[in-house]
Structure 1
Amino acid sequence: MADRITANLPSRDFGATAAFYGKLGFAVDFLNDGWMILSRGPLELEFFPHPTVDPLSSWFSACIRVDDIDGLLAEWRKVGLPSDATSTPRLTGTFKLPDAPRMFALVDEDGSLLRCLENGVADE
């Protein structure tokens, strides 16, 4: 297996987190009382229990880098998440910040931010 790093994010309830990410194509690879691993192909997210995390003030985040950002966004839009700036959870459209690749953002039910960035695109 290649060297890698995976995100470790909070979950108020592993069952709810697995159900939310299941709608986005993730499956449970490992689960016990203190740890859960979800995967979607090569994408992997790990979760730890944090029953008191406040979704509205959470500062947890991770970056997901993918080759087909438009395809991933199209798949995830089928879930029907809100796109406004105040809903939790929510899913944005694509955007581009200065000196960064094209991206979109997903905020999950626990307030964790996933920045989904386009692979192989030079920062302009």
Structure 2
Amino acid sequence: MADHATPNLPARDFLKAERFYAKLGFRASFRSGHWLILKNGGVSMEFFPWPDLDPAENSHGCCIRLDDLHAMVAQASAAGVPEARTGIPRLVPPQRDISGLTIAYLVDPDGNLLRLVQNPPEKGPEK
């Protein structure tokens, strides 16, 4: 297995987190009373319990780099995540960032901020 990192995010209720992310194509690969791992293709996210978390005060987040950002955004929209600049949960549509990357923002029901970043196209060999 290649080296990799996975975000560790808080969840007030694992079952509710699992249901939310299932609508985005994630499935549980591990579940216990103290840890939840969700996977969707090559993306893996881990959750730890924080039952008294205030979503409005949550400062946890991560970047998820995607080959098809627009498919994930469409899936979030189809799942009923509102397109908005405020509120929890919410989806901020993709836009070109000052970095040159295209990024959308998804805030889950626990207030975790997921930066959804479009992977740049792979460049072929130099000629």
* Structure 2 unaligned spans of 5+: 122-127
Using the TM superposition, give the Cα deviation of residue 94 of structure 1 relative to its aligned residue in structure 2, in angstroms: 0.6
Query: Aligned equivalents of 1:93 and 1:103: distance in 2?
Result: 8
Query: Aligned equivalents of 2:54 and 2:12: distance in 1?
Result: 9
SS of 1:76 mapped into structure 2: helix
Using the TM superposition, give the Cα deviation of residue 101 of structure 1 relative to its aligned residue in structure 2, in angstroms: 0.8
SS of 2:55 mapped into structure 1: coil
User: In the comparison of the two structures, how many residue pairs are matched?
Assistant: 122
Using the TM superposition, give the Cα deviation of residue 97 of structure 1 relative to its aligned residue in structure 2, in angstroms: 2.0
**Larger Cα-atom Rg:** 2
* Structure 1 unaligned spans of 5+: none
SS of 1:94 mapped into structure 2: strand
Task: Tell me, yes or no, if structure 1 residue 39 matches structure 2 residue 17.
Answer: no
TM-score, normalised with respect to structure 1: 0.93
Query: Aligned equivalents of 1:62 and 1:55: distance in 2?
Result: 15
| 1:1-124 matches, cutoff 5 A | 1-120=1-120
Query: Aligned equivalents of 1:3 and 1:50: distance in 2?
Result: 28
Contact 2:28–2:37 (CA<8 Å) still a contact in 1? Answer: yes
Identity in percent? 40
User: After the TM superposition, which segments of 4 or more aligned residues of structure 1 sit over 3 Å from their partners?
Assistant: none
> How well do the aligned residues superpose, as a CA RMSD in angstroms?
1.4
Output one character per residue of 1:24-47: Cα deviation in whole Å (capped at 9) or x when no partner.
111011011111000011111100
SS of 2:5 mapped into structure 1: coil
User: Counterpart amino acid of 2:80?
Assistant: G
